[in-house]
Structure 1
Amino acid sequence: MASATEHYTLPRPTFEEGPKVLIVVAPYYRAIADALIAGARAEIEASGGWYDTAEVPGALEIPSAIGIAGRMSDFDAYVALGCVIRGETTHYETVCNDSSRGLTLLGLQGLCIGNGILTVENMGQAEVRADPDGQNKGGGAAAAALHLLALSRKWGASRKGIGFVPAREEYRIAGQPEDPQTT
């Protein structure tokens, strides 16, 4: 059982400027969603960040909402929260796989996303994972988003000044004619 295993947790990243984080939640199971949100908010606040929360009908809509926000807003990071409990049909696999795939694709496009969509067999498993005083998967998802944001800011800063810049006089190759547009 995962709860009996000790896991290493990265130290909380620090930021010169507090991050703006969007929490997107599917509150289909309201009590579970509320616990996930509480954990995520606590982690964001502990990092000096600010958050807004948006609700969507279900887990399948979470990647779409984050994609829209990524194109049309100025959030630094995103936290995806929800719960999918296995039922009697294959709908469970569709929702789990497609919501996860959608978030992964958005992450590969550069959005900093923490995935806190629980995929469980029963309500008991969901309650244990969502509990902020237990496994705190909402806080873990927020921490993941913040760690990705810290890496993004670290690596993004190193790109300043990179790109095409016309050669200056001291860097011209000997014997090459000068560019008439730069003289």
Structure 2
Amino acid sequence: MSGPGSYADALQGRLDGSGLRIAILCARFHEEITGALLERCTTTLEAHGVEGESIRVLRVPGAWELPQAAGRLAGLERYDAIVAIGCVIRGETPHFDFVAGEAARGLTDVSLAYDVPVILGVLTTETEQQALDRARQDGQDKGRELALAALEMGLLFRELT
């Protein structure tokens, strides 16, 4: 379970996303949760100056498919950051461990191979309620945090070129 505080609490100043191009991959599995994360992510990006047409949203079946799609997007060299949204809720089998671990590893591999920030937005929770609490705007608002991380990293990578 997440601890107190939030990534967003540590930010200083305003992140101006004007001119950034952001791709968001969103898993359809656990649609209520991933849809809430996606909505908060896009709303936050737009509130920070990323134009609507500079945000590309693509759907994938589930968290397992996120690294494959992220790799294809990164290879296009069109985006300043890629946000990967998914949700894996623990069940009665070790399937959770395989999907969550490989999704995280695969997204890390993409970010290192293509030199583009890939933001890991795969919720891994014990229960559906924990996931909902993290996804809601009146909860932990992880969708907002994903957008802020994409903005910060996209701007950083531009500065380092």
Alignment TM-score, normalising by the size of structure 1: 0.78
- Does residue 57 of structure 1 match 2:61? yes
Cα RMSD, aligned residues only: 1.6
Shift in Å, 1:117: 0.6
Shift in Å, 1:73: 5.2
Amino acid in structure 1 at the alignment position of 2:140? Q
Residue equivalent to 1:117: 122
- Does residue 108 of structure 1 match 2:112? yes
Residue equivalent to 2:43: 42
Residue equivalent to 1:88: 92
Distance 1:105 1:145 in 2: 17
Amino acid in structure 1 at the alignment position of 2:5? E
- Does residue 6 of structure 1 match 2:5? yes
Shift in Å, 1:14: 2.1
Shift in Å, 1:13: 2.2
How is 1:26-175 mapped onto 2 (pairs within 5 angstroms)? 26-49=27-50, 50-72=54-76, 74-109=78-113, 110-156=115-161
Q: Could you say which structure has the greater relative contact order, defined with CA pairs below 8 angstroms and 6 or more residues apart?
A: 2
Residue equivalent to 1:173: none
Task: Provide Cα deviations, 1:112-164, integer angstroms capped at 9, x if missing partner.
Answer: 121111000011000000012321111211211221111101111xxxxxxxx
Contact 1:36–1:130 (CA<8 Å) still a contact in 2?
yes
Task: Provide Cα deviations, 1:76-129, integer angstroms capped at 9, x if missing partner.
Answer: 211110110001111100001000011111222311121111000011000000
Alignment TM-score, normalising by the size of structure 2: 0.88
Distance 1:65 1:80 in 2: 9
Which sections of structure 1, spanning at least 5 residues, go unmatched? 157-183
Shift in Å, 1:31: 0.8
Distance 2:98 2:73 in 1: 24
Contact 1:67–1:106 (CA<8 Å) still a contact in 2?
yes
Which sections of structure 2, spanning at least 5 residues, go unmatched? none
Q: Bigger radius of gyration, 1 or 2?
A: 1
Amino acid in structure 2 at the alignment position of 1:72? L
Distance 1:52 1:21 in 2: 6
